[in-house]
Structure 1
Amino acid sequence: MATAAVEQGLITSVNPNSSLSEAYKMLRTNIRYSSAEKAYKVLLITSAVSGEGKTTTAANLAVTYAQEGHKVLLLEGDLRQPSLQQFFRKPLGRQGLTDLLTGHHPLSECISESEIPDLDVLPSGTATPKPSELLGSERLKRILSELSQTYDLIIMDSPPSIAYADAQILATLSDGVVLVIGDGMASKAQVKRVKHSMEHVHAEIIGAVFNQT
């Protein structure tokens, strides 16, 4: 895959018949049939280092599921350098995940509707000095359980796995992990390190996306 340019917005929405959009649809299909035993309700999209295209992948993958008529929530789990807003023309709310986790705002005030039918976004929210502690709280587990009753699928973005523990924390709350590998970005050793870190917390790695080729 190649990363869609920010100025293009979401390539799966702007040009759904392009070859790149078809690649994201193939990814959706591969995820769906990667396990015959269970349906994935919560997916984590992560990468070893920054710039590999994990957020682009998460956003476009979410669109492809919504285009099938599934009710999808795109959750911005990167509380350190949030960037989901750049993919949407419709402004996301100021309140988000951090405000929800701290109890400062209810769920109804934290979820934003996107311009894509059936796709909602839970942005990162107010900046916090302790992102790992918030993500590791029992409250997030309860919130995801509640959201799973409303949405067919929750796709979570995360910070780079090498730099922070956040991705590992989110992985423990997911049904499956997709690892995005940017061509020429992370080293083989770094990718192996992420794989081992996910296995350490008993997260299921569904597969990998070789990106920016």
Structure 2
Amino acid sequence: MVRNNKKLEKSEASTLFTIASPKSPVTEQFKTVRTNIKFAQSDTPIQSIVVTSSGPSEGKSTLSSNLAVAFAQSGARTILVDADMRRPVVHTTFDLENQVGLSSLLSVRRLTMKDAIQETDVPNLSIMTSGPKAPNPSEILSSHRMRRVIELLKKRYDFIIFDMPPLVNVTDAQIVSSQVDGVILSVKEGVTEKPMLNKATSLLRQVDANVIGAVYIGAVADASYGYYYYS
């Protein structure tokens, strides 16, 4: 287990540290996580990951968005897919439209991958928003079409990040975690409860997901800190 105990600031959930403060210690920490992911398994390169949490309000979307920017800034062709069709926020974070996205691609046969992907002002970074809310997210995420989408994304991009709903209440993250190269859990002090975290990791084990590690966000006194760890 490699630990990095440098302090990590917290802010509002929608803050893109990697864009707003590209030379800050916070951004450097996301770059460290990026490096750890790249070398998590040297024999099998990590190309696609799920970012999730045990419950809500644990920073998963902030984590996935900043990691996506960090990978793009390294020169990797990167796409962030908002696969949280229940409470999507990626389109808001990046100020994008959400009329067409992943749910559209999985439900409307005539749509192509190009129809569901939006480019950003960040070089090398593309976004696939969640699209209109689907009545059956778990069903369409477990479809053959979803597996085909992942295959096609791997051919077009160097790195793919799926922002998924929390694990404990719905099966969405479990389904996609079994189809990607690795999973990262977001853990937040004062919010994440140990029994919930244990249940989340158990759910991932049930589908043989490759849990790369976690990002822990903590608080001390009146300042906000955090550290990353990977195992």
State the TM-score, normalizing by the size of structure 2.
0.87
For 1:122 and 1:173, locate their aligned partners in 2 and report how far apart those are by CA, in whole Å: 18
Q: How does 1:79-90 map to 2 (within 5 A)?
A: 79-89=85-95
Name which of 155, 166, 173 aligns with 2:179.
Answer: 173
Match of 1:39 in 2: 45
User: Any runs of at least 4 consecutive aligned residues in structure 1 with deviations exceeding 4 A, and if so which?
Assistant: none
For 1:146 and 1:108, locate their aligned partners in 2 and report how far apart those are by CA, in whole Å: 11
For 1:168 and 1:86, locate their aligned partners in 2 and report how far apart those are by CA, in whole Å: 25
Match of 1:5 in 2: 12
For 2:35 and 2:66, locate their aligned partners in 1 and report how far apart those are by CA, in whole Å: 14
**Is this contact kept in 2: 1:74–1:156, CA < 8 A?**
yes
For 2:11 and 2:129, locate their aligned partners in 1 and report how far apart those are by CA, in whole Å: 20
For 1:118 and 1:88, locate their aligned partners in 2 and report how far apart those are by CA, in whole Å: 14
Name which of 83, 95, 103 aligns with 2:100.
Answer: 95
Q: How does 1:144-183 map to 2 (within 5 A)?
A: 144-183=150-189
Give the alignment's Cα RMSD to 1 decimal.
Answer: 1.3
Name which of 197, 200, 218 aligns with 1:194.
Answer: 200
Q: How does 1:21-170 map to 2 (within 5 A)?
A: 21-89=27-95, 91-102=96-107, 103-170=109-176
Q: Which amino acid aligns with 1:156?
A: F
2:126 is paired with a residue of what secondary structure? strand
How far 1:65 moved relative to its partner?
Answer: 0.5
How far 1:3 moved relative to its partner?
Answer: 3.7
How far 1:133 moved relative to its partner?
Answer: 0.4
Q: Is 2:29 the counterpart of 1:18?
A: no
* Structure 1: gaps spanning 5 or more residues: none
**Is this contact kept in 2: 1:45–1:156, CA < 8 A?**
yes
1:128 is paired with a residue of what secondary structure? coil
How far 1:86 moved relative to its partner?
Answer: 2.3
**Is this contact kept in 1: 2:98–2:132, CA < 8 A?**
no
1:12 is paired with a residue of what secondary structure? helix
1:149 is paired with a residue of what secondary structure? helix
For 1:147 and 1:34, locate their aligned partners in 2 and report how far apart those are by CA, in whole Å: 21
**Is this contact kept in 2: 1:4–1:56, CA < 8 A?**
no
For 2:172 and 2:9, locate their aligned partners in 1 and report how far apart those are by CA, in whole Å: 25
Structure with bigger strand share is 2
**Identity %, equivalent residues:** 33
Paired residue total: 211
How far 1:179 moved relative to its partner?
Answer: 0.7
* Structure 2: gaps spanning 5 or more residues: 1-7, 220-231
**Is this contact kept in 2: 1:177–1:205, CA < 8 A?**
yes
**Is this contact kept in 2: 1:171–1:198, CA < 8 A?**
yes
2:216 is paired with a residue of what secondary structure? strand
From the superposition, tell whether residues 10 and 22 of structure 1 become closer, same or farther in structure 2 (CA, over 3 Å). same
State the TM-score, normalizing by the size of structure 1.
0.95
**Is this contact kept in 1: 2:13–2:61, CA < 8 A?**
no
How far 1:33 moved relative to its partner?
Answer: 1.7
